[in-house]
Structure 1
Amino acid sequence: MSWKRGAYPEFTLEDAVAVLFMLQNPTGRKAVSEALDLGEGSVRTLLRKLLWQGLIRSTQRGHSLNGRGMELLEGISRHFSEVRRVGEIEGHPAFALTVREPGKFKSIELRDEAIRFFAKGAMILVVRNGEPIFPEDGRPLSETMPELAEKVKGAFRLEDGDLVVVTWAEKEADAMKSAYHVALSLKEEVLPEEIKSLVR
């Protein structure tokens, strides 16, 4: 039996988490599809599952989180932030997020995770005295990339001990999702069951 892979709605845990952050404000299906580079069928399925879970409301203005959805997102946000655009690196769109209390990690493994998830490259930084630094040698990001350091500091309320993940890729969607992928590789166990069940 032959079948087309594209005929099946497919999305990842990273897509589901990205959608939750997007739906803090009413967002149309087309906007979700374009931002995440997902087929409309996949977006429809994902939104329908969120509706069944009782996490979103749908109006003519689009879909948005309801009270329960917002509570769920607040719980996730205690562990990692929403991605933010922080300019370009090597001519590619770059995004960043922060991870609270990351625990033990190896920078090179986290960079590999990002690249496995379609990033062109990634930087893993730790916040010390309010500055993002390279954990391997304690070098501040501001020494080598002052503009990026300022953008990161402007985009987030950095706290000492936070991890800052910066990823870049040819497509914005891949840069965003690879950053979420790194956060999830550190924090998947704290994700609520409702979210994990979306991709089963």
Structure 2
Amino acid sequence: MGWKRGAYPEFTLEDAVATLFLLKTPRGRKQISEELDLGEGSVRTLLKKLSKMGLIESKQKGHYLNEKGLKVLSEITTLFSEPVEVEKVENMPTYALLVKNPPQFKSIELRDEAIRYFARGAMILVCRNGEIVFPEDGRSLKETLPKLAEDLKKLNPEEGDLIVVTWAEDKADAIKSAIHVALTLKKSELPKEILEVGE
């Protein structure tokens, strides 16, 4: 797993999106590096790119989203929510996010995507008739994991929303694998500014 943290600056679209969520409040480069488990060189390059695109500004307290950055972030949140920490699964850091108006999907393929992106496991759920259920068979999550089902309510899911839950040994991997699944579904609808950052 160590290959993704080399000395050369390297970051992904997932890192860029996660950074936008983080920069709702000013943060220093070191903080971002620790939160996302990303080398400081990569963070420096990423921040430089976000700044060049006019999405962030910097001051003594750190880097933060400016008006344009906040607008781009609000466009992203119409597609999917920020990952939030939820009840642990398999005793590992666990994060969940909502995907609005998901296109057709196969749960198994989305789970595979999460695992390919360093998650140890993932659950793909949907909101149906006010219940959080497994899309394949309509089983309610609260039958097997009542605490997690209760915790997911803080995402305020609405009818038809898809809920991605990912867990990993490392908090950053859990967050970024959840974002990765959301991007798998919604990349084509992302604001062009953030797509260009990932190029």
CA deviation string 1:33-70 (max 9, x = no partner): 01100000100110111111111110111111000110
1:7 CA drift (Å): 2.9
Q: Which residue of structure 1 aligns with residue 68 of structure 2?
A: 68
1:87 CA drift (Å): 2.5
Residue identity opposite 1:71 in structure 2:
K
Q: Which residue of structure 2 aligns with residue 47 of structure 1?
A: 47
Identity rate of aligned residues, in percent? 63
Task: Check whether the contact 2:117–2:180 (CA below 8 A) recurs between aligned residues.
Answer: yes
Residue identity opposite 2:10 in structure 1:
E
Distance across 1 between alignment mates of 2:9 and 2:185 = 27
Residue identity opposite 2:45 in structure 1:
T
Count of matched residue pairs = 195
Matched, 1:174 2:186: no
Task: Check whether the contact 2:94–2:167 (CA below 8 A) recurs between aligned residues.
Answer: yes
Residue identity opposite 1:195 in structure 2:
I
TM-score normalized with structure 2 length: 0.95
Distance across 2 between alignment mates of 1:132 and 1:199 = 32
Matched, 1:31 2:31: yes
1:29 CA drift (Å): 1.0
Distance across 2 between alignment mates of 1:6 and 1:145 = 38
Residue identity opposite 1:180 in structure 2:
I
1:130 CA drift (Å): 2.1
What SS class does the counterpart of residue 79 from structure 2 fall into? Answer: coil
Distance across 1 between alignment mates of 2:27 and 2:131 = 34
After TM superposition, what 4+ stretches of structure 1 lie above 6 angstroms from structure 2?
Answer: none
Distance across 1 between alignment mates of 2:7 and 2:163 = 37
Structure 1 residue ranges without an equivalent (≥5): none
CA deviation string 1:129-187 (max 9, x = no partner): 22210011111111110000111102x12110000000001100101000000000000
Q: Which residue of structure 2 aligns with residue 184 of structure 1?
A: 183
1:79 CA drift (Å): 0.5
Q: Which residue of structure 2 aligns with residue 19 of structure 1?
A: 19
CA deviation string 1:88-112 (max 9, x = no partner): 1111110000000001000000000
Distance across 1 between alignment mates of 2:104 and 2:76 = 19
Q: Which residue of structure 1 aligns with residue 164 of structure 2?
A: 165
Distance across 2 between alignment mates of 1:199 and 1:190 = 14
